[in-house]
Amino acid sequence: MSGSGSQSDIERAADAVRDGDLVVYPTETVYGLGADALDPEAVERVFATKGRDRENPVSMAVPDVETAAEYTELGGRERAFMRQFLPGPVTVVVERGDRLPDALTAGRDRVGVRVPDHDLALSLLGRVAPVTATSANASGRPSVRQTSSLHEQVRRAASVVVDDGETPGGGSTVVDVGRGTVHRRGALADRVEDWLSDR
């Protein structure tokens, strides 16, 4: 999936993430609010900007399963699932690695992993990763499908907004493959549940 966002926008967004700033980027569901997922201060700015409860962990986005494996502990079943469903609108909850800050995971031992099925998002993640993967809305407000709908506090906080027009909407299915648990049904939920029940 591609659109009007330019590669120069992606370069600027990648530089901003490296500098510890926040960016807004498109995915195959809604717009995401991105920051360096390894930088506790940048992650904290994501929580502050969204007004998000610090006990509610944030997922991370990476360009591929191999990159996810650098920051998490993946078992064979999880790798098989991720090869089947990623890139795609599925968040896979796995055991975190030591390099991830407590700010991202709310001190928990697991983290959500996203590989968005969107050319611009993957282009950004190919330059800088992992990046936070949380919707670019203030907590309690609707998810954002077009940049004109960004809440003022998010727009002010983001150094770069990568505009790719209107996104399809919906939410990712959140699944802990190792524990066989679907935490949130979203896109592809039936297929995810079928996969879990068959293995």
Cβ atoms of 38 and 58 closer than 8 Å: no
Task: Spell out the domain ranges in the chain.
Answer: 7-198
Helix (H) / strand (E) containing 167? none
Write down the pLDDT at residue 3.
40
Give the global pTM.
0.94
3-class DSSP assignment, residue 103? helix
Looking at residue 5, its pLDDT comes to 63
Distance CA 190, CA 6 (A): 35
Mean pLDDT by runs of 10 across the 199 residues of the chain is: 67 98 97 98 97 96 98 97 98 98 97 97 98 95 95 96 95 96 96 94
Strand partners, 45: none
On whether the CB atoms of residues 121 and 32 are closer than 8 A, the answer is yes
- In contact, 49 and 22? CB cutoff 8 Å: yes
Residue 2: predicted pLDDT: 36
Q: Report pLDDT for 6.
A: 80
> Quick check: bond before 57 cis, omega within 30?
no
The class (CATH top level) of 7-198 is alpha beta
> How high is the mean pLDDT of the chain?
95
Which helix (DSSP H) or strand (DSSP E) does residue 85 occupy?
Answer: helix 76-85
Q: What angle do CA 52, 189, 2 make, to 5 degrees?
A: 75
